[in-house]
Chains A and B, each alone.
Chain A
Amino acid sequence: MRVIQNLGEWLDARLQIAATLRETAEHRVPRETASWFYVFGSAALVVFCIQVITGILLALIYAPTASEAWNSLQTLNFNINLGWFIRALHGWGSNFMIAIVLLHMVQVFLFGAYKYPRELTWIVGIFLLLMTLGMAFSGQVLRFDQDAFWGLGIGASISSRVPVMGPWIVKLLLGGPIIAGATLSRFFALHVFVIPGLLIALIGLHLLMVLKLGINDWPMPGRLVRKATYVKEYHELTQKDGIPFFPAAVWKDLFFAAAVLLALAACAAYFGPFGPSGRPDPTIIQTAPRPDYFFLWLYALLSLLPANLETPFLLIGPVIGIIFLLLLPFLFGEGEKSWRRRPLAVLTILLVAVVLGTFTNLAVNAPWSPVMDAWSGNPIPPQYLQGRSALERQGAAVFQLKQCHNCHSLGNEGGKRGPALDQIALIQTEDQMIRQVIQGGGNMPAYGKNLSPAETTALIAFLKTLYPAGRRPARDASRVQVTQSEAPPPKATNP
């Protein structure tokens, strides 16, 4: 013990930081902030440290070249002792990071922490959020597989829509005219040097400001922030009723960090690493690229926006969003902090959460994507074929062969891009079906050139049988007037 103490004194005689460290650790914080609501920031820092450590460990093996990156990931997964676990920690760490950073942001927003005098802390936080998302995207690129390759193509397509500058931005993004070795190299530089360097610098600034300005006081309804008096009030709060951060408040941070680390390790051990999926070979086109979890909402948005709104929305939407977040502390820098008296703030959070959740949930199922192998892989359920005439069954064959099944489901099998056709005969008459098939429209291709009259006749005969038992199919009253007699409807679908 004596030796350690001597060594400590020797070091501090030269470094002269022990007093500062002690002062920092024991700085006084408002009593109520020793709360479980105030643990997300430190947890994000802990996960960030995990990402740095596991990232360095992965870089010992990973080969950042387009030809070898995928192979080196396979080596990490299968040939390096516990390489899979380090990859899993890093991959799950990125999911945890984004989740905790978002929780942290929601907490400081609802507790009014962005108000005077902590405006700059919030602004630096916005940049930290953007960089965290940048790390997530560039990290996905470094997992250089099919999803990464085509994901880059999507990124290039979005960037190319910037007016005038678009094509240049694409080339700067890709490092050349196509997605290739130069692309991976620059994303490696971004992911390993540029963004982490900026992150470390900004985290330092963020923390420094938390220490200098003091942790946000617990918002009391009715205790308003006024620039003239706030600093004095906060000082009184911490001095009269404050507690030292260490050890009075820090134990909750430590416990939460431990819980997060445990959950992270458990996810990594149980679920394992992410991918890599197929080789990044541009000539293998049998692939349906999907973004990682935290960008699924964007994938849904890109599928559901009307075509003419897409470019403005993609280019202007994020700019407006970021500008609003940056201006927030200046627009609402004073006044009520408590979320109990800020219904608009609570509603905003709820709205954003519901929108992101809904879009993410939609993107998991991706009803807008055709099921590319439904025509050959999902047979028509037998009850739709039993007791049908030869012509109607021929129509069912046309339905499969012409890939109708890729977009239309029968018995819940097949694509969801177009409407399910199980009850189509209830909704459309024969003439309406023919028009829809031949001319298309309403987001359906026109099949006029690709179906012979005989095929069309057979297909419509099959579609006319698709209605539930006990109901009458749609009929065209004017036709009845013309013919004066209505043929009996074909046999129903569901006996």
Chain B
Amino acid sequence: MTVPDSLSRRAMLMKLGIFLNTVIAAVLAVPVVGYLFSPIARARKAGDSWLPLGSLEEYPAGETRLATFRNSDVRPWDGKTADSACWVRRIDEQTFQVFAINCAHLGCPVRWFPQSRLFMCPCHGGVYYEDGARASGPPERGLFEYAYKIAGGKLLINATELPTPGSPSALVNIGGKIPCA
């Protein structure tokens, strides 16, 4: 009696072999995918971090000053990229606004001009008023703003990630509509 090739013992063993390898590949894929997507988990872990911007005296009322801070989740080989900059506007004794350095258009570093009380972006010409609201140019919204608090005579901000137009982080939306809405 002849058995068709597709029903033979060898064919069955080959199919079993393919099945075993598929299962093992699927199991191995889990850690690989987990590893590849770890930056998302890492960013979530950075979560709620209050970073010091120095003592309140460094920021005279009515003025806007450049401040730098060290990010919370850094590695030894990050070098200077572990640091970030931001603009601190002190409105009065207890009221501040802390703006991200990144233009709300495409993230270039905006510069403050105290004479005309404007932020200007060197890339595509975005301009913002002193309260961070959009004045002109391609940005669709005002500057990104960090949440801040005052503790022990020091100014702290909640900065967890690079602010981008699409990122719904802890940033406060000011002077305009929500992008991409």
Is A bound to B?
A: yes
CA distance A23 to B83 in the complex (A): 61
Q: How far is the CB of A145 from chain B (nearest CB, A)?
A: 12
- Identify the closest chain B residue to A442 (Cβ): B136
B162 close to A370 (CB less than 8 A): no
Q: Which residues of B contact A281 (CB under 8 A)?
A: 80-81, 83
Q: How far is the CB of B22 from chain A (nearest CB, A)?
A: 23
Q: Of B84, B165, B168, which is in contact with the most chain A CB atoms at under 10 Å from its CB?
A: B165
Q: Top 9 nearest A-B pairs by Cβ distance?
A: A67-B79, A160-B166, A445-B135, A166-B166, A160-B164, A153-B107, A177-B161, A288-B122, A285-B109
- Identify the closest chain B residue to A308 (Cβ): B140
Residues of A in contact (CB 8 Å), total 70
Residues of B in contact (CB 8 Å), total 62
CA distance A286 to B136 in the complex (A): 21
Q: Of B101, B113, B121, which is in contact with the most chain A CB atoms at under 10 Å from its CB?
A: B113
B77 close to A177 (CB less than 8 A): no
A154 close to B42 (CB less than 8 A): no
Beyond the given A370-B127, A372-B111, could you list 17 further A-B residue pairs with CB under 8 A, ordered by the A residue number? A66-B81, A67-B78, A156-B162, A157-B165, A175-B39, A177-B71, A181-B75, A181-B79, A287-B109, A302-B105, A302-B138, A311-B179, A370-B125, A372-B120, A443-B137, A445-B127, A445-B136
A154-192, CB < 8 A from B: 154, 156-163, 166-168, 170-172, 174-183
Q: How far is the CB of A372 from chain B (nearest CB, A)?
A: 5
Residue in A174, A280, A289 whose CB lies within 8 Å of B162: A174
A56-72, CB < 8 A from B: 65-68
Q: Which residues of A contact B73 (CB under 8 A)?
A: 176-177
Q: How far is the CB of B3 from chain A (nearest CB, A)?
A: 38
CA distance A307 to B140 in the complex (A): 6
Q: A167-B168, A181-B78, A368-B124 are in contact. Are A283 and B116 (CB under 8 A)?
A: no
CA distance A242 to B60 in the complex (A): 83
CA distance A446 to B131 in the complex (A): 13
Interface membership of B139, Cβ < 8 A = yes
Q: How far is the CB of B132 from chain A (nearest CB, A)?
A: 13
Interface membership of A116, Cβ < 8 A = no
Q: How far is the CB of B4 from chain A (nearest CB, A)?
A: 35
A167 close to B167 (CB less than 8 A): yes
CA distance A450 to B117 in the complex (A): 7
A377-422, CB < 8 A from B: 401-404, 406-407, 417
Interface membership of B158, Cβ < 8 A = no
Q: Which residues of B contact A172 (CB under 8 A)?
A: 36-37, 39-40
Q: A160-B164, A450-B117 are in contact. Are A302 and B81 (CB under 8 A)?
A: no
Interface membership of B30, Cβ < 8 A = no
Q: How far is the CB of B61 from chain A (nearest CB, A)?
A: 17
Q: A153-B107, A153-B108, A450-B117 are in contact. Are A303 and B125 (CB under 8 A)?
A: yes
A171 close to B43 (CB less than 8 A): yes
Interface membership of B21, Cβ < 8 A = no
B166 close to A161 (CB less than 8 A): yes
Residue in B76, B162, B169 whose CB lies within 8 Å of A153: B162
13 A–B pairs (Cβ distance < 8 Å), ordered by A: A157-B165, A157-B166, A167-B168, A172-B36, A177-B46, A183-B81, A283-B85, A401-B116, A406-B120, A443-B136, A445-B129, A446-B135, A447-B116
Q: How far is the CB of A278 from chain B (nearest CB, A)?
A: 11
B39 close to A167 (CB less than 8 A): no
Q: Which residues of A contact B78 (CB under 8 A)?
A: 66-67, 180-181
Q: A285-B66, A307-B140, A446-B135 are in contact. Are A158 and B81 (CB under 8 A)?
A: no
Q: Which residues of A contact B164 (CB under 8 A)?
A: 156-157, 159-160, 166-167, 170
Q: Which residues of B contact A176 (CB under 8 A)?
A: 39, 42-43, 73
B42 close to A68 (CB less than 8 A): no
Q: Which residues of A contact B36 (CB under 8 A)?
A: 172
Q: Which residues of A contact B135 (CB under 8 A)?
A: 440, 445-446
CA distance A303 to B125 in the complex (A): 8
Interface membership of A149, Cβ < 8 A = yes
Q: How far is the CB of B71 from chain A (nearest CB, A)?
A: 6
B74 close to A180 (CB less than 8 A): yes
CA distance A401 to B114 in the complex (A): 10
CA distance A202 to B19 in the complex (A): 29
B84 close to A282 (CB less than 8 A): yes
B66-116, CB < 8 A from A: 66, 68, 71, 73-85, 101-102, 105-111, 113, 115-116
CA distance A282 to B74 in the complex (A): 14
A177 close to B118 (CB less than 8 A): no
Q: Which residues of B contact A302 (CB under 8 A)?
A: 105-106, 124, 138
B75 close to A180 (CB less than 8 A): yes
Q: How far is the CB of B166 from chain A (nearest CB, A)?
A: 3
B24-79, CB < 8 A from A: 36-37, 39-40, 42-43, 46, 66, 68, 71, 73-79
Residue in B84, B85, B116 whose CB lies within 8 Å of A403: B116
Interface membership of B180, Cβ < 8 A = yes
Q: Which residues of A contact B107 (CB under 8 A)?
A: 150, 153-154, 156-157
Q: Which residues of A contact B125 (CB under 8 A)?
A: 303, 368-370, 407, 417
Interface membership of B123, Cβ < 8 A = yes
B68 close to A283 (CB less than 8 A): yes
Q: Which residues of A contact B76 (CB under 8 A)?
A: 67
